[in-house]
Amino acid sequence: GDSVTQMEGPVTLSEEAFLTINCTYTATGYPSLFWYVQYPGEGLQLLLKATKADDKGSNKGFEATYRKETTSFHLEKGSVQVSDSAVYFCALSPLNQAGTALIFGKGTTLSVSS
Amino acid sequence: DTAVSQTPKYLVTQMGNDKSIKCEQNLGHDTMYWYKQDSKKFLKIMFSYNNKELIINETVPNRFSPKSPDKAHLNLHINSLELGDSAVYFCASSQYSGGPTDTQYFGPGTRLTVL
């Protein structure tokens, strides 16, 4: 079945460091891909998304490119801040139909220190 | 204005009790979902409804029963609570438009603790 694999955390960085969180997927067809972020004690917020190959999603300095050839959707940010400390989830939506559930990776915890 | 809201935010109860979690969305969406996040933060779909019709019903114990009185509400009732039900439950909604998959918007979560 469809699945998402994320790099294991936690990821610990200093402020202004470069961030990469790897995400690869297995899916039949052409899924949509998402990154969600969960700040401590809060719900999930959509960070960015891409719906077709070569699309680049971006938001708040974060970027991810839908790479069909490598089935990847890696999250990057050039300079992290302490406020970016959170759990990041890569997810896919396998079918373009109503009610399709998201399939999530296991999440990657990012901790940024000043 | 909160787009997707859940009540209560925290729920502590004893084994064997029956409890409900409520979810409301004011986004005008047609589709709503319940997800469960376990202690390792892994998220998994439980149910989804489209226009009050059940679309997804994963292998969830039948002690869990979703109810959708209208498009804006999807409640989750749990009978005979067990220790293993302790988790964070997230409600979400989306608007299917027939194009690329629409974004799901999540509520703040309900942390259920069964003692």
Residues B21-39: what's their mean pLDDT?
93
- Using pLDDT thresholds of 50, 70 and 90, give the confidence band for residue B101: low
Would the CB atoms of B48 and A93 count as touching at under 8 Å? no
What span, in angstroms and rounded, lies between the C-alpha atoms of B40 and B17?
A: 25
Question: Which of A42, A51, A104 has the CB atom closest to B100's CB atom?
Answer: A51
With a pLDDT cut of 90, the percent of chain A lying above it is: 76
Could you write out the DSSP letters of every residue in chain A? --EEEE--S-EEEETT--EEE-EEEE-SS--EEEEEEE-TTS-EEEEEEE-STT-EEEETTEEEE-BTTTTB--EEESS--GGG-EEEEEEEE--SSTTPPPEE---EEEEEE-
Would the CB atoms of A96 and B101 count as touching at under 8 Å? yes
Task: For chains A and B, count residue pairs whose Cβ atoms are closer than 8 Å.
Answer: 71
What span, in angstroms and rounded, lies between the C-alpha atoms of B50 and A72?
A: 30
The answer to whether residue B98 scores a pLDDT higher than 60 is no
What span, in angstroms and rounded, lies between the C-alpha atoms of A43 and A100?
A: 20
Would the CB atoms of A101 and B90 count as touching at under 8 Å? no
pLDDT given for residue B72 in this prediction: 93
The answer to whether residue B96 scores a pLDDT higher than 90 is no
What span, in angstroms and rounded, lies between the C-alpha atoms of A50 and A109?
A: 22
Find the residue in A nearest to B50 (Cα).
A99
